[in-house]
Structure formats: structure tokens, C-alpha cells
Copies of this chain bind each other. A is one copy, B any other.
Amino acid sequence: MVFVLKKNAAEDKIAAFVKKIEGAGFTTFLSTGTEHTVVCLIGNTARLDVDFIVQTNEIVEYGKRVTEPYKAVNRTVHPADTLVTVGGVTIGEGYFQVIAGPCSVESEAQIIGVARSVKESGATLLRGGAFKPRTSPYSFQGLQERGLEYLLAAKRATGLPIVTEVMNQTQLPLFGDVDVLQIGARNMQNYDLLKEVGRCRKPVVLKRGFSSTIEEFLMSAEYIVAEGNPNVILCERGIRTFETMTRNTLDLSAVPLLKQKSHLPVIVDPSHAAGIRSLVPALSKAAVAVGADGLMIEAHNDPANALSDGAQSLDLDQFRDLCGEIRRRAEFEGKKVK
């Protein structure tokens, strides 16, 4: 950790600052420039808050942590790729999985029908929303408990492991038979939920908040892993920018960056990012090429009559065609498909 002191820092204040830091168990080195003095700390600074020190010491102009604030999810700490296994499916480096299904579960017949179709097309996990976070209190909020039951029926019918969103920790008891918990973008910094999900050991798909930096995203994953659950799958799903032609801007650069910084698997959700069906195939192919470990794609039996997000869903034929394209490219990239 390095601190640059202000130009006019008085010598006695510098001495007091150094004494305080050394009193906390660190060794310091001072370097006195023509304009500024720099103080370097030596020792394990993980427990120090760099902003806090800058803010609470008037003579400090600037501070920089040399090591990243995330530890458990950091590749330097844990160089080997994490592989998350669920129901015989492996998610992580070297594999490519497609998670597919409708935005919302609408009926038992619907979700079983979609599950059978996407499985045949090549999907290896089934997604579907039972609890739906919606901007308006007047919009459809999902089938809730009943939606979960229908998802489990689809799992029994097809053998596909299921991925579905949990909106708050009081719902967790209902998710006992769910294979993968999803934390939605709006909940990425719902820390109490992250902690609870960290206390169970189920795999978690953690979606990037639509205005979260990559570092904040990794810090939220850190909350889960720090509580003891290492099975976190990061999901890039677009960030909020000034561009309005797409719903969000898919940040594909985040994929190689996350894989450099962390050992966790990274998947991409092109459907929510774009919000436009016609962009999903091109973005899916790009996600394979950029190095993602999988895709989460909305596919619906009847998008024209979907209860939510119909505009971004592929129909089942479109999904089958795309799945073939994805598989060809994943194999081209040397990934195992299932």
C-alpha cells in the first residue's frame, strides 16, 4: 500500500502518521520528493481500507492498494480454474454449456414442453423464472411457488438441472430441490442475500449488476465464496450506458478480464443484454469466440404470447438452429460440449 502525502504536509504530522501506521504493525518506507513525500507500507494490508486511511488523515492526498481487494475469488490466490459440477454437467474452462428456457414459467405444460425441446437442441441446463423482479408493481410478478413446482416437474421429465432466481433470503427454504440459484442483476449488491447464499453450497449464477464495475462484481462473488460456497458462476448480462438502441450494452471485454482476474467460470446472457431477438445469434457466437464458458439464452414456445420479455426470446426452432451454430463454434474453439 502506497500513500502520497500532500505538498504542504508538516513534518510533525508526517511523523505522527508514520507512527500511527507502524503502531498498527506495518513497516514503512518514506521517500521525500521535491514536492511530495510518499509512504510505502510493508506487511499484509488486506485488513486496511485504503479509502478510509486517505479520508481520515488530512495530510494524505492519495492512496493505492497494490494488491486487489478480492482474495478468495482471485486467480493469483487460486490459479486453477474452478469447475462447477451440477447434475453431471460441468461448467468452467474447457467446457461450453448452454442454459436455456423462458423468461417466466407460465404453466407446467409450457415449461415441460420447452425443456424437452431445448434439451433435444443441445441445452444442458434449464432456466425459467418463478419469482420475477419487475420495475412496475402492476406487472406480472411470476408464478412464484407454483412456478418452482413446474420447474421441478420439468426437471423430472427431462433430467435437466434447473436454474432459477431467488429474490430474497426468506425464499431459500423453497429452493431445496433447485440445482442452481440465480442472483439477479438488481440484487448483485444485496449483501444479506449474498451471505445467505454463501452459507448453502448450491451452485450460484451471479449476474453482474447493470451498473456494476468488474471489481464490484468480483467483490460480490467474494461475499458468497467468503461464506464458504465456492460454486459461483459469473454472468455478464450487459451494462447501462447512454446507448438506447439496445436495452443494455453487452460488455464482452469483461469475459477475458474476469477470466484473467478470477478462477471462476464466466457465462454470458445475450438475451437480456440486447433486449432484441435478432441480435441474440450474433452475440452468442461472439461470446463463444471471446472465451466464455457458456451462454444463458431465452427460448420460448410462443414468444409472441410470452408473459414477459417476449421480444428478446427465440422461438424453439430459432433456438435449435442457434444451438447448432454454437456447438460448431464451441468445438472449433476446442471446448467440450456437455
Contact = CB atoms under 8 A, between A and B. Distances in A.
Nearest to A189: B186
A41, A137, A244, A308, most chain B CB atoms within 10 A: A137
A243 interface: yes
Interface string A259-300: 010000000000001100011001101111111000000000
Contacts of A49: 139
Interface residues of A, number: 106
Contact of A244 (B52, B195, B213, B279): B213
Contacts of A54: 311
B61 A66 contact: yes
A329 B328 CA distance: 12
B250 A252 contact: yes
A249 interface: yes
A8 to B, nearest CB: 10
> Chain A contact residues: over half helix, strand or loop, or mixed?
mixed
A187 interface: yes
Interface string A187-217: 1011111010000000000000011011110
Contacts of A136: 69, 219, 222
B239 A253 contact: no
B242 A256 contact: no
A170 B169 contact: yes
A66 B36 CA distance: 7
Nearest to A51: B311
A223 interface: yes
A2 interface: yes
A168 interface: yes
A43 B33 CA distance: 7
A318 interface: no
Given A242-B241, A286-B290, A62 B66 contact: yes
For the complex of A and B, 10 pairs with smallest distance between CB atoms: A55-B311, A211-B211, A29-B31, A31-B40, A289-B289, A286-B290, A285-B289, A286-B286, A256-B282, A55-B310
